């Protein structure tokens, strides 16, 4: 069996890095990375209201105390790309990659087929594939297992939603 694992494209990494740097700081009143062409604050600083924040107000009492750079490094962003990518195959490649890292070289062993099968199942039905597999083997998954897997699915869906939201903002900047 041959599986091709694509790494995220450089332009995707750069555009997501840019998106994160332009979207997070304005929520804390920092518009230095904003462009005049789309930033409402830069156009009308006195009357500007942030439409995506509660009561349209920036978080004045909560300062952005961490450096965003730490969260937008190439390594971090590359981990987010698969969630951001709408193309199924790329996301699947990433799951396969996580279960079957080239660095560990499981590719030469029989377990490789099972690891890829797990990745496909996870892509198709989420982490509940683990519960189903156990049931088929005659092992009833315990509540801890079921809850844990459903938490992982929920987390995945949340990240996907956040990234999609960021991407849509980048492709159609606010006016």
Q: Which residues bind Zn ion (CB under 5 A)?
A: 26, 31, 34, 39, 41
The Cα 59–Cα 137 span in angstroms is 51
**Looking at beta carbons, which residue is closest to Zn ion?**
34
Q: Nearer to Zn ion by C-beta: 41 or 129?
A: 41
At its nearest, how many Å lie between Zn ion and the CB of residue 26?
4
Work out how close the CB of 56 gets to Zn ion at its nearest, in angstroms, rounded to a whole number. Answer: 14
Residues in the chain, total: 175
3-state DSSP call for residue 22?
helix
Q: Which is nearer to Zn ion, 38 or 106 (CB)?
A: 38
Nearby residues of 37 by Cβ (< 8 Å), 6 or more positions away: 173
In angstroms, rounded to a whole number, what is the distance separating the alpha carbons of residues 90 and 78? 12
Kindly state the smallest distance separating residue 171's Cβ from Zn ion, in Å: 17
Residues 6+ apart with CB under 8 A from 157: none
Are the CB atoms for 13 and 74 separated by under 8 Å? yes
Nearest-approach distance from CB 42 to Zn ion, in angstroms: 6
Q: Rounded to the nearest 10 degrees, what angle do helices 128-136 and 111-125 cross at?
A: 120
52: its two tokens: 């995506």
Tell me the closest approach of the beta carbon of residue 87 to Zn ion, in angstroms.
30
CB 99 within 8 A of CB 118: yes
């Amino acid at each position: 069996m041959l599986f091709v694992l694509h790494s995220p494209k450089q332009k995707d990494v750069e555009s997501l890095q840019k998106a994160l740097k332009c979207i997070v700081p304005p929520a804390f009143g920092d518009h230095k990375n904003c462009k005049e062409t789309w930033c409402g604050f830069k156009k009308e600083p006195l009357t500007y209201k942030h439409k995506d924040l509660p009561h349209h107000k920036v978080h004045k009492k909560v300062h952005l105390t961490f450096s965003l750079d730490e969260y937008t490094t190439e390594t971090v962003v590359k981990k987010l790309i698969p969630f951001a990518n709408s193309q199924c195959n790329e996301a699947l490649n990433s799951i396969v990659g996580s279960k079957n890292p080239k660095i560990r070289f499981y590719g030469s062993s029989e377990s490789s087929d099972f690891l890829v099968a797990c990745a496909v199942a996870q892509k198709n039905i989420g982490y509940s594939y683990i519960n189903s597999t156990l049931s088929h083997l005659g092992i009833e998954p315990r509540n801890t297992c079921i809850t844990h897997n459903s938490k992982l699915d929920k987390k995945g869906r949340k990240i996907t939603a956040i990234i999609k939201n960021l991407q849509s903002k980048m492709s159609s900047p606010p006016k």
